Structure 1
């Protein structure tokens, strides 16, 4: 069989491979808020890759920490009683930053694994506390919880559900209505519901900030019904909302928090679950049976070294405070596009992420409109993120306000191209 040198062997995620196979966009290097393609063209990375390069590209501190750890102990499993110093140091540090008392940290490889882990912990927690009938997991419309088994089942983006539910006992409610959650728990029966999953700001589903009081209200509802509240901060954590775990600003105490992406700024794959001491207790008690879940790379020492260096950068440069300062200017920049005939709404104002929603009639006629807008922005040297009905930005926290003009000009140019 002859080999076609122009045909890629790489199967891209979320890609129409028939269109992509001979037209890949190859990124070769990055520095701060910029990346370059192999033709030498520079782009403003207004997406921080996929919501994750929070400290910017090309950080020597993280690269040096990874190299040093690899020379000393690149990898080793952490099953049973085996540990390594980077994993111990990182989990202790995260427990001190977490918005829950007595936090315990289960480390995994990324956000999708974190969701699956949280779902298993929730169900197993109730099995171990004499309520094995509590198995139902509830999510929201527009939610994105990764593409593993539980994440696909919990997906609130219909196109991502594939042959879901994948796992039994899942339900879904409207994304912005706490009363809908209350009613669904009552309909199912409070004694059957294990957990409610919520992103502080829905990310891939369109950048949907919560209505005022929403997060606080669902906390009260979950507490009243004995349901675990799982905050999915895979996108929202580590500065994206101006705090460590993406939920601190709402002043609530979750039961479980999933994280990934910004924990290493995407430099190395790492994710995890923060568990409230009450949830962890049946697993940590003397004589407790093992939690039969984990991955070969759980607590990977090199990934943990990257995370520790990343946290140092964030603390030393005050990037949480910087994120607070970017929140309003980014929102205003995106709002300046609201007058465009293709735009029906500009969203943001809660963290360093924002989006424009495209006209539904134009979308119905051309579902590829978000990709067309993004392609037009790319031609002008800015990378933005197309979604189902919107186009989003989530730049590194090192973005300077002068970069916002470049971003909005390219965004508007992409909209003009798509409108034509």
Structure 2
């Protein structure tokens, strides 16, 4: 069977049976999948026709160590053959889960040390909300249930995490949002204080934030914002939850984004980079005082558990993933290559008429497209859609964000990217931008 014949067969099966997440169902039926991936190695993915792409998004911000790492496959195989899965319910345990929990406690900032495992980011978010509400309940303050989150935030698509997300289109998908979530201006600490005063501090369980907003457009907090929020949380006896699903595990040039802003959250949410996408895995990490108070005040069984919490094979993969990251200095490489990539994108900004702000931290960044570089005026048409499409045609996968007035290209390549691949990234993007610019 030829590659094209195989592709056509797969397209028809895809259209008939496969409901794609976060995709247009009508477009899927009309055009089929845009790319059918076949293999991947390093920073590259290859489709069934043999076309190679530089994965400028590390898929979904998550393939941090890069593709095709045989050590991960070997670690999974070894654990699968030894003990693929056992339950962690009712006090049962396994060595990979124990050792990964200890490793996470070692590498997270401050005294974060109580680890609850999940299968991904949405589960981690929903679990965190339940934990903080349970925490206040056993502490004798059951009325502290509300969670204050930021507009433009993305926290997942489970029932609670959809409700916590501050992006309107996710809310419009469903007819029933979970109660108890309040959204505030994402840049103003006074908006948090005002919400506390309006809602009542005795009703608020936690403040929830991505240290760096990812799917909302790679938005960085204003200077001092997170430290002021931490101060307000302490003042009003409110827990601070940091969602590091995208920003964790070296993405920003430090192991966790909170380290850039010199804060330690009471609860940290993680997924994605914890396994670099090689297997489904996430976690919620509790600070010492939260963990110890739960031990002290909780009575009976902790009535929250997931079938795959502490999955031995997933945890073995997570351990090997972190080992590779540390042994190959990928966190430092994220900083060095991230600075190099950003500097080249800022040079590109000077060479074009439509590239506005370029912002980054490590290997996560964004490029704004504008009609006027001085005023920041936007085109009526969202040019980022066209640029991302042209870049894909040329062999570079990126993502665009067009919520609100944004016309933004975002990027987050694997942390193993090297200088040659950075140059290739920029050359392809430059060609795509100039092609769109000349068509205006």
Out of 42, 50, 71, which is 2:52 matched to?
42
Do 1:335 and 1:347's aligned partners in 2 also have CA atoms closer than 8 Å?
no
The answer on whether the counterparts of 1:283 and 1:289 sit within 8 Å (CA) in structure 2 is no
Equivalent pair of 2:85/2:313 in contact (CA under 8 Å): yes
Q: Deviations over 1:257-293 (max 9, x none)?
A: 0000000111001001010121122332376332211
Aligned to 1:20: 28
Superposition pairs of residues 5-16 of structure 1, within 5 angstroms: 7-16=15-24
CA offset digits 1:123-144 (Å, max 9, x no partner): 1111110111111111111101
Partner of 1:381: 395
CA contact (8 A) 1:346 1:354 kept: yes
**What is the DSSP-based 3-state SS (H/G/I as helix, E as strand, rest coil) of the residue aligned with 2:17?**
coil
1:395 and 2:405 equivalent? no
Query: Retained in 2: the 8 A contact 1:373–1:414?
Result: yes
Is it true that 1:115 corresponds to 2:125 in the alignment?
yes
Aligned to 1:289: 300
Take 1:213 and 1:202, find their aligned partners in 2: how far apart are those partners?
Answer: 16
Q: TM-score, normalised by structure 1?
A: 0.94
The question of 1:89 aligning with 2:103 is answered no
Structure 1 position 226, deviation (Å): 0.8
Q: 1:7 to 1:168 in 2, by over 3 A?
A: closer
Aligned positions of 1:352-391 closer than 5 A: 352-359=363-370, 365-366=380-381, 369-388=383-402, 389-391=407-409
Task: Please tell me whether the aligned partners of residues 330 and 353 of structure 1 are also in contact (alpha carbons under 8 angstroms).
Answer: no
Deviations 1:293-323 (A, max 9, x none): 1211111111001001101101111111212
Matched-pair contact (CA < 8 Å) for 2:341–2:426? no
**What's the CA shift for 1:244?**
2.4
Of 322-331 and 149-158, the range deviating more from structure 2: 322-331
For 1:338 and 1:17, locate their aligned partners in 2 and report how far apart those are by CA, in whole Å: 36
1:125 corresponds to: 135
Per-residue deviation at 1:364? 7.4
Give the C-alpha shift of residue 372 in structure 1: 2.3
- In structure 2, list runs of 5 or more residues that go unmatched: 1-10
Counterpart-to-counterpart distance in 2, 1:157 and 1:28: 33
Query: How much does 1:114 deviate?
Result: 0.5
- 8 Å CA contact 1:283–1:290 kept in 2: the answer is no
CA contact (8 A) 2:112 2:285 kept: no
RMSD: 2.1
Corresponding residue for residue 4 of structure 2? none
The 10-residue stretch of structure 1 (288-297 or 225-234) with the greater mean CA deviation from structure 2: 288-297
Is 1:410 the counterpart of 2:410? The answer is no
Alignment: residue pair count: 416
**What is the CA distance between 1:42 and its match in structure 2?**
1.1
